[in-house]
Amino acid sequence: MDKFKHESTGTYQEQKWVVWGLDVWGHAPEECEYDDEDRPVECCSFTVNDRSKRGTVMIRCKGMRFNVGTEHEFESFSPNTDDVTKALVDAEYFVETAEIEADGESEFMLEVNRKSDGRPLLQLEREKEPS
């Protein structure tokens, strides 16, 4: 039996996210050159050098309840890969099938990377709601 149960709440939340375009340096491992001792001659990874604001996107997030039946029960609305991909395609941003990696708190900052080699494509920051 799962000690910490989770379930869908059946609710959704529309979240506004700021979209950042990225200036990326580096190469995927298959693009790298190696010396005679199989050491990389060039950098075989990606680094984000800079970013620029490209606009905003609305993401529809499904509500989930965690720790159901305990005093620590809570509800969360975190976008998944399918939610983000759909929103970016609908908003006409050019995005291939996306892989999301959390940077810090996953409900506030997301990185959208190309699935085939991990190249960073976009960063998304959740727009803070007015207090």
Residues 6+ apart with CB under 8 A from 90: none
- Residue 81 has a pLDDT of 82
- Answer yes or no: is 62 within a domain: yes
Each residue's pLDDT expressed in tens, for the chain with a length of 131 residues: 557 788 999 999 999 999 999 999 987 777 777 788 877 676 678 889 999 999 999 999 999 999 999 999 999 998 888 888 889 988 988 755 556 665 556 678 888 888 778 889 999 999 877 65
- Residue 24 has a pLDDT of 94
- Answer yes or no: is 87 within a domain: yes
- Answer yes or no: is 75 within a domain: yes
- Number of neighbouring beta carbons within 10 Å of residue 113: 20
pTM score of the predicted model: 0.78
Q: Domain containing 64: what range?
A: 6-23+50-126
- Answer yes or no: is 58 within a domain: yes
- Answer yes or no: is 73 within a domain: yes
- Answer yes or no: is 117 within a domain: yes
Alpha-carbon gap, residue 113 to 22, rounded angstroms: 11
- Residue 117 has a pLDDT of 82
- Answer yes or no: is 30 within a domain: no
- Answer yes or no: is 85 within a domain: yes
* Domain total in the chain: 1
Distance of CA 105 to the CA centre of its chain: 11
| Residue 128 burial class via C-beta count within 10 angstroms: exposed 0-12, middle 13-18, buried 19 and up | exposed
State whether residue 81 is helix, strand or coil. helix
